């Protein structure tokens, strides 16, 4: 930073502190993030009041109301993207999950709760402490510590997204059962699914499978190592009046399934690869940084000559360019050519996506052909 930038930054921080002092009689002070007019997008940590926090939250909520996402499940606050670093709030219809990634927010639960209830109808609200979890590094993380939920309702609810319905449970697991950042990608992949055979690897609760079936896929196979998640996938099928076809839900390791499919010549027109950053399975360890190139190779072998491959990761150390590089290397090795690459990411409610490891998604959708 230059000397001029340093002087400007100091002045911005001083001005922010003056504003905070003028409001200090309205509530207890908390640590929050002030970004205005700071050179190079640098963020200064300043003191602000509970009133300031309430105002910042309302601004974040109001912004989401302008987006028209065709869903009642939305990211309301996206950490630094909304000037509230270390705070994430996801709304699932009338259920809300608040994720605390920085301890500064632990003492502000009352202010956050009141702001949410002033702006939305909230039946169930839970705070989850993720201050001890790894975010975006690819290492193992302990489940977040759930604070006592606020509200008398159950932790389960049903949300709607692009006319489809999905079951979520805010207290069931590390995640609620639906990844909101994949919203637009689910619809894009499904757009190409009509009349095609789709393989959904690392299917989780099978949201990609639901989309593809609703958009007219001739066959969908959802593969995941967790019987529990596959059962939730079946529940999502029933919510959307989808019959379960033969081989629709398969409990297996994705790599092993791809190997067997290629050997049987059981090929697919679209293959979806959305693996976790890190996972253990029957004594083996999957690491997306180490194993993604092999995974892409296996997928291309089970893909039709004119097939499409969706590849994604939330690991912040893997940019889209690296996914493209791995895809091109694997395609070249087996005589394929990648003819089109769609570069994708998180949806609009994830403000400043990619600028922080807690809000990061590298994704590509590639179209292939065989070289002749």
Domain spans in the chain, listed from the N-terminal domain onward: 51-159, 179-370
Query: CA distances (Å), 247 to each of 251, 257, 328, in order?
Result: 10, 12, 30
Residue 23 has pLDDT above 80, yes or no: no
Read off the pLDDT of each residue in 73-102 and give the average, rounded to a whole number: 96
Confidence of residue 60 (pLDDT cuts 50, 70, 90): very high
**pLDDT tens string 203-253:** 999 999 999 999 999 999 999 999 999 999 999 999 999 999 889 999 999
Here the tokens at position 238 are 């029933």
Whole-number pLDDT of residue 151 = 62
- The CATH code for residues 51-159 is 3.30.750.80
Residue 2 has pLDDT above 80, yes or no: no
CA distance 99 to 174: 11
Strands (E), the chain: 30-34, 44-48, 73-78, 87-92, 95-100, 124-129, 145-146, 156-161, 164-169, 197-201, 219-224, 249-251, 268-273, 278-281, 284-287, 303-313, 336-344, 362-370
Q: Which of 265, 260, 261, 292 is nearest to 364 (CA)?
A: 292
CA distance 235 to 229: 10
Read off the pLDDT of each residue in 98-117 and give the average, rounded to a whole number: 94
Confidence of residue 133 (pLDDT cuts 50, 70, 90): low
Confidence of residue 260 (pLDDT cuts 50, 70, 90): very high
**What class does CATH assign to 179-370?**
alpha beta
Residues 6+ away with beta carbon under 8 Å from 67: 74, 348, 349
Residue 81 has pLDDT above 50, yes or no: yes
Whole-number pLDDT of residue 51 = 93
């Amino acid at each position: 930073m230059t000397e001029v930038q340093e002087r400007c930054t100091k002045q911005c921080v001083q001005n922010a502190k003056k504003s905070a002092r003028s409001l200090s009689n309205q509530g207890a002070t908390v640590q929050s993030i002030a970004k205005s007019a700071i050179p190079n997008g640098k963020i200064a940590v300043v003191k602000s009041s509970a009133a300031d926090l309430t105002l910042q939250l309302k601004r974040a909520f109001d912004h989401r109301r302008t987006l028209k996402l065709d869903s009642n499940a939305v990211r309301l606050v996206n950490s630094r993207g909304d000037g509230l670093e270390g705070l994430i709030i996801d709304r699932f219809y009338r259920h809300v999950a608040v994720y605390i990634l920085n301890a500064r927010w632990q003492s502000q639960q009352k202010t956050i709760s009141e702001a949410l209830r002033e702006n939305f109808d909230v039946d169930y609200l839970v705070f989850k402490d993720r201050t001890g979890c790894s975010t975006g590094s690819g290492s193992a993380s302990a489940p977040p510590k759930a604070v006592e939920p606020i509200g008398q309702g159950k932790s389960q609810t049903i949300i709607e997204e692009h006319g489809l319905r999905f079951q979520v449970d805010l207290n069931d697991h590390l995640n609620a059962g639906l990844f909101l950042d994949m919203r637009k990608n689910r619809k894009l992949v499904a757009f190409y699914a009509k009349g095609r055979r789709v393989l959904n690897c690392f299917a989780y609760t099978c949201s990609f499978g639901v989309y593809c079936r609703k958009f007219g896929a001739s066959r969908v196979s959802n593969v995941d190592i967790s019987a529990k998640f596959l059962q939730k996938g079946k529940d999502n099928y029933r919510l959307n009046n989808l019959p379960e076809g033969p081989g629709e839900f398969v409990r297996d390791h994705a790599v092993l399934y791809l190997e067997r499919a290629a050997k049987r010549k059981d090929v697919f027109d679209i293959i979806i690869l959305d693996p976790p950053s890190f996972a253990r399975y029957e004594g083996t360890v999957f690491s997306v940084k180490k194993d993604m190139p092999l995974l892409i190779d296996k997928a291309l072998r089970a893909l039709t000559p004119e097939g499409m491959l969706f590849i994604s990761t939330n690991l912040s150390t893997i940019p889209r360019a690296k996914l493209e590089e791995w895809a091109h290397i694997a395609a070249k090795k087996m005589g394929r050519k990648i003819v089109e690459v769609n570069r994708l990411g998180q949806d609009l409610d994830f403000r400043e996506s990619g600028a922080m490891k807690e809000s990061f998604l590298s994704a590509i959708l590639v179209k292939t052909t065989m070289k002749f």
